[in-house]
A and B are shown apart, each in its own frame.
Chain A
Amino acid sequence: MELYTQLVVNGITNGAVYGLLAAGFVLVYRASRALNFAQAGMGAIGAYVLFDVMKDSGGGGGRYAAGFALGVAVAALLGLLTERLAIRPLRRAPALAPLISTVGVLLLLQTLIILRWGGDLRSIPNPLPKKPWRIGSIIGFDSVVVNQSAVLILVVMVVLVSLLALVVTRTRWGLTIRSISDNPDGAAGLGVPVGRVSGQAWALGAAIGAVASLLAASTTILNPYTLFLLQIKALVVGVFAGLKDLRLCLIGGPLLGIVESLAGSRIFGHQIAGLSDSVGFFALVALLLVRANTITETLGDTRAS
């Protein structure tokens, strides 16, 4: 029981990153009807910028904060540029075109990373707390721990996604996002600056994704490949949220994390290597079947526009 409690705790903290990435993903989708597969690449570039700032340093707090802000800003700029150059010209194209375009941008960013930074493993010196809290001791499970950095990421996720959900549901800017989401042509006809709002959403979505990527890279290892797998998991959570409801990202991320964590254990008596990482794909298929109506409606809207 103690082991499974630990696995659930692991899942919740791992899933915080998925939830945060998914929030950016959903925001962008709502504003432009494009699945931004390049988001992980934007976050990865931001993480490498942070690495450049922090390398050969002692991991000081001030420098880390500045590097973090710069990394997020660079990712936001990439989001803005992608929207302007690779998405806006495709506004009238079939739904598949912007999707392919973001895959192209992702490959371009990955290539840029390899050209600029190479394929080496990197550690980002950082001031994030590394010690574990023995949270299980409260209920007599002394072995159950949670890393302080993981708690920090969870808190950041809850705060940022909640704020974003509030912004989208309670502000004028959020109203324009929703109007674009519901009927882009109608919104444009009513004078909503569709292009500008879409660009802002792309920048914000990329920035939120970058926060997740930078935190994940700071607590593990940075290389050109590891962050990209997170994008698939963000897609799973995004679909769980119906590509619409940001609040569901708060639940979907940790939920996927728990499923992954338990899938990697011997919960059914056998361990299957790789199941932990691939369970997300199964979840995606299951979600697409369960939420088929929502997704079809959304894609149908796009085709109609």
Chain B
Amino acid sequence: MRTPRRPRVLAVSLLAATVFSAACAGEQPKKLGLTGNAALAGDSTLAAPATTNSTAPETAAQGSASIGNGSFPATPPATGTAPVRQPAVPAPPPVTTTSGPMARAAAGPAPSGPATASSPAPASGNGGVTDIGVTADTIKLGGFFIESGPVGELGITLLKAVKAVFNDVNAAGGIYGRKLQLIDCDTSFTSGDKPRACYTKLTQQDKIFAFAATGDGPAWVTAAPLACKDQIPALWTDGLSQNEFTCPTIFPTGPAGRSQARVVLDYYIKAKKPKTVGILAQNDDIGNEWLVGAKEVLSKYGVKIVSEEKYNLGETNFTTQATNMRFANPDFVFFSSEPLGPILFQKTAEGQGWKPPMPSAGVTCNVSVWPKQVGEYSKGMICQNPWQLLSAKLPGQVEFEKNYKKYWADWDKRNYYTETMWIAARATVETLRRAGPNLTRAKVLEVLRSGAFNGFDTGFGVKFTQQSSAKGNLFSIAVAVVEVVKPSDEDPYKLLQEPIPDPYFTAG
């Protein structure tokens, strides 16, 4: 009697394991508050924030709000290194914000008309199907996002920031009557196979119009050459990978990893005049981005690398790296990485009674989770930030907070890349609006190459500086330097250096 039972038991076990696996993959976003929205992990369509619970995000307030414009100078300053052509597209309809950005967000019920950043369809229609991914009702956009893995909890806020912006635009009628449909693909802060598969899916299966407000830097190490070859516009990527700065159809929002490293190290070496350094670097393509920039500056100032320790994403034991580094006795330690590894490294170094100065590039102490987890040991850490600190309460920052909190409850998990992607989403909306109702990829690229975004005010204390070059239109982005002064505070930072353009940046 035993024999027939075995296969059945095995089958049940396998089925249970499969169900559990599926649950693991599918349940996380629910916790993250995405199930209430139309947009879920994996393929998703962004719906306007509806007035019913079935489609409203977990913290969605009723009503809609304008995505404030007013971001462009009346006359774009010609600060690029090469001649900037005048816009070849029609000027956008005037923005009618009257009482500050998002002023209507707090005003209660949804306005019946479209929000200010959205554009109504012309009386003659919007041209219907004008290009791949564009119909009379929707514009299909795709993006790589970090939704799982060791930094998934921080990464998911990037997607949420984009959704918050797009939700408002859709609620106000969309862009020339077309709703924005975002299809996100989880690339888990990796380069290689995942982004390659996502790229194929988004471009060949989903047939997106463009990549938009897409926030996984490592993924772009792999995807940028593909998108560049296929001439698919990538509107306002996060900018972390240098590949995003070397293609005429890709438009980065934030500074490249190597720019982050260069500005921080330039500041630190000038201030402290160290002779030796130990480096802890993430052992992958994106870790290498920061490392390349760091080594340029270290070489310029003649700072000797006495220990270079690499680690793989997800590694959990840093005793060997901390020990090797401590015995090399560098004047300072430089982190070129995501946050988890260096946090464990610091915990280990603390356990060994060792605390060297630790300036860093990458997603490090500028993510508020870092000072909270490391505690007092993180006091004095120096890191980069692409924008003014949120404590500056600049108009764009206030608008960001209101817009994000309107849809999501995890404000405490936002980080500077959340800010970057919120800015990227706004820039995407503005780009599509400027391209007009007869939307095509060619028109979008024309808008972006025209110089129209030269001087674009992010609202975070930084304006884009567009630089035309042989390889396309590039944007040199600013980098600020901050220090952790009160690890347990909501805002633990002090601004050491205002955001400045990367002095080493060349347009290529």
CB nearest neighbor in A for B328: A3
Complex alpha-carbon distance, A114 and B24, angstroms: 8
Please report which residues of chain B, range 436-489, place their CB below 8 angstroms from some CB of chain A when the two chains form the complex: none
Question: Known: A2-B327, A101-B13, A273-B312. Is A94-B353 also a contact (CB below 8 A)?
Answer: no
Is the beta-carbon distance between B28 and A130 smaller than 8 angstroms? no
Is the beta-carbon distance between B17 and A104 smaller than 8 angstroms? yes
Please report which residues of chain B, range 1-56, place their CB below 8 angstroms from some CB of chain A when the two chains form the complex: 2, 5-6, 9-10, 13-14, 16-17, 19-21, 23-24, 27-28, 30-32
Please report which residues of chain A, range 166-205, place their CB below 8 angstroms from some CB of chain B when the two chains form the complex: none
**Is there a chain A Cβ closer than 8 Å to B405's Cβ?**
no
**Is there a chain A Cβ closer than 8 Å to B321's Cβ?**
yes
Query: Which residues on A sit within 8 Å (CB–CB) of B413?
Result: 120
* Whole-angstrom distance between the Cβ of A50 and the nearest chain B Cβ: 16
From B2, B16, B320, B353, A145 is in contact (CB under 8 Å) with B353
Is the beta-carbon distance between A271 and B351 smaller than 8 angstroms? no
Q: Give the segment of B160-168, B295-303, B339-347, B422-430 that binds chain A.
A: B339-347
**Is there a chain B Cβ closer than 8 Å to A298's Cβ?**
no
Query: Which residues on B sit within 8 Å (CB–CB) of A120?
Result: 153, 369, 413
Question: Known: A118-B153, A220-B347, A265-B324. Is A274-B316 also a contact (CB below 8 A)?
Answer: no
CB nearest neighbor in B for A150: B351
Is the beta-carbon distance between A114 and B27 smaller than 8 angstroms? yes
CB nearest neighbor in B for A114: B28
**Is there a chain A Cβ closer than 8 Å to B111's Cβ?**
no
Interface residue count for B (Cβ, 8 Å)? 55
Query: Which residues on A sit within 8 Å (CB–CB) of B352?
Result: 132, 145, 147
**Is there a chain B Cβ closer than 8 Å to A221's Cβ?**
yes
B interface, over-half SS: helix
Query: Which residues on B sit within 8 Å (CB–CB) of A10?
Result: 319-320, 323
A interface, over-half SS: helix
Report A106-139 CB contacts with B as 1/0, cut-off 8 Å. 0110110011001111110000001110000000
**Is there a chain A Cβ closer than 8 Å to B491's Cβ?**
no
CB nearest neighbor in B for A147: B351
Complex alpha-carbon distance, A68 and B38, angstroms: 41
Is the beta-carbon distance between B340 and A277 smaller than 8 angstroms? no
Query: Which residues on B sit within 8 Å (CB–CB) of A14?
Result: 317, 319
Complex alpha-carbon distance, A120 and B148, angstroms: 11
**Is there a chain B Cβ closer than 8 Å to A276's Cβ?**
yes
From B14, B310, B323, B344, A6 is in contact (CB under 8 Å) with B323
Query: Which residues on B sit within 8 Å (CB–CB) of A220?
Result: 316, 344, 347-348
CB nearest neighbor in B for A121: B373
Report A263-305 CB contacts with B as 1/0, cut-off 8 Å. 1111000010110110000000000000000000000000000
Complex alpha-carbon distance, A102 and B16, angstroms: 10
Please report which residues of chain A, range 216-255, place their CB below 8 angstroms from some CB of chain B when the two chains form the complex: 219-221, 223, 225-226, 229-230
* Whole-angstrom distance between the Cβ of A117 and the nearest chain B Cβ: 9
Is the beta-carbon distance between B150 and A225 smaller than 8 angstroms? yes
Is the beta-carbon distance between B17 and A103 smaller than 8 angstroms? yes
Complex alpha-carbon distance, A260 and B20, angstroms: 32
Interface residue count for A (Cβ, 8 Å)? 58
Question: Known: A7-B323, A265-B320. Is A97-B10 also a contact (CB below 8 A)?
Answer: yes
Most chain A Cβ neighbours within 10 Å, of B6, B283, B323: B323
Query: Which residues on B sit within 8 Å (CB–CB) of A69?
Result: none
* Whole-angstrom distance between the Cβ of A267 and the nearest chain B Cβ: 10
Question: Could you tell me which A residues sit within 8 Å of B by CB distance?
Answer: 2-3, 6-7, 10, 14, 89-90, 92-94, 96-98, 100-101, 103-105, 107-108, 110-111, 114-115, 118-123, 130-132, 143, 145, 147, 149-150, 219-221, 223, 225-226, 229-230, 260-261, 263-266, 271, 273-274, 276-277
The 8 closest A-B pairs by CB, nearest first: A264-B320, A273-B310, A107-B20, A273-B283, A119-B153, A147-B351, A104-B17, A274-B312
Pairs across A and B, CB under 8 Å, 28 listed: A6-B327, A7-B323, A10-B319, A14-B319, A90-B9, A90-B13, A97-B6, A97-B9, A97-B10, A98-B13, A101-B16, A105-B20, A107-B21, A107-B24, A114-B27, A115-B27, A115-B28, A123-B373, A130-B350, A132-B352, A143-B327, A221-B340, A221-B343, A221-B344, A221-B347, A230-B316, A274-B283, A274-B315
